[in-house]
């Protein structure tokens, strides 16, 4: 199936960053670009070459809005629920994933669509059959509106769930951190799946219905 680890150093850095902005701290965080104090709900940038998530103040983050081809890219805040998505079981099986949690995004650094899933080792990549992905996007044009690198198609098909979202990339790595932190034994244990359900319950509450493809800019 071609799985390989994305690398403990990269994933560990992402998880550390996500822990910082998800949990209130006694010491105020600082913008990693200018050193200014940060609010709890501050913005994030993605360093394209490394996949590192960078905490920034609003003035610094806005410098990277609409920037194309730079070192950093501004991570959006909105999460979208794709209610009308059509993913038959056979089409999902054609994506050759070993778990029913996964996210997909286009990497400009690697010039390809990537499929990753949470695992006890972190974010693990599964080789994505291009024909299967193309079939999915042809039938679901909403997926063509995702911004490269910083937005992902997040899928939850655990148990009876059939949930599909377009979300900021840091949301996906938050899920990776939850699975990595709480996984126990071969099946993960009850705690990890309770945490995953809590994560998606929050996402359901926050996500908005995805607009028509013509109403969202397609990132080149």
Q: What are the CA-CA distances from residue 14 to residues 50, 52, 53, 80, 199 (Å)?
A: 11, 6, 6, 22, 17
Task: Based on the fold, state whether residues 34 and 98 are members of the same structural domain.
Answer: no
Task: Based on the fold, state whether residues 114 and 183 are members of the same structural domain.
Answer: yes
Domain count, the chain: 2
Task: Based on the fold, state whether residues 105 and 168 are members of the same structural domain.
Answer: yes
Range of the domain at 169: 80-211
Number of neighbours of residue 113 by Cβ within 10 angstroms: 18
* Global pTM value: 0.81
Task: Based on the fold, state whether residues 54 and 87 are members of the same structural domain.
Answer: no
**pLDDT tens for the chain, residues 1 to 220:** 444 444 554 555 555 555 544 555 556 789 999 999 998 889 999 999 888 999 999 999 999 988 778 899 999 999 999 878 888 899 899 998 999 999 999 999 999 999 999 999 999 999 899 899 998 998 888 888 899 999 999 999 999 999 999 999 999 999 999 999 999 988 888 999 999 999 999 999 999 987 665 455 444 3
One-character DSSP codes across 18-45:
HHHHHS--SSPPB-TTT--B--TT-EEE
Which of 74, 99, 125 is the last residue in one of the domains? 74
């Amino acid at each position: 199936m071609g799985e390989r680890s994305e690398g403990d150093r990269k994933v560990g850095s992402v998880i550390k960053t996500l822990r910082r902005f998800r949990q209130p701290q006694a010491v105020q965080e600082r913008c990693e670009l200018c050193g200014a104090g940060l609010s709890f709900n501050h913005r994030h940038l993605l360093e394209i070459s490394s996949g590192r998530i960078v905490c920034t103040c609003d003035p610094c983050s806005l410098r990277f809005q609409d920037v194309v081809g730079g070192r950093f890219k501004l991570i959006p805040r909105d999460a979208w629920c794709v209610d009308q998505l059509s993913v038959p079981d056979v089409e999902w099986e054609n994506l050759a994933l070993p778990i029913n949690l996964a996210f997909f995004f286009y990497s400009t650094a690697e010039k390809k669509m990537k499929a990753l899933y949470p695992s006890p080792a972190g974010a693990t990549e599964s080789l994505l059959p291009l024909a299967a992905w193309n079939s999915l996007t042809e039938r679901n044009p909403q997926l063509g509106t995702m911004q490269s690198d910083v937005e992902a198609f997040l899928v939850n098909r655990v148990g009876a769930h059939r949930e599909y979202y377009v979300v900021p990339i840091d949301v996906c790595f938050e899920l990776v951190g939850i699975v990595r932190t709480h996984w126990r034994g071969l099946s993960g244990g009850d705690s990890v799946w309770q945490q995953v359900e809590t994560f998606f319950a929050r996402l359901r509450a926050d996500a908005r219905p995805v607009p028509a493809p013509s109403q969202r800019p397609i990132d080149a």
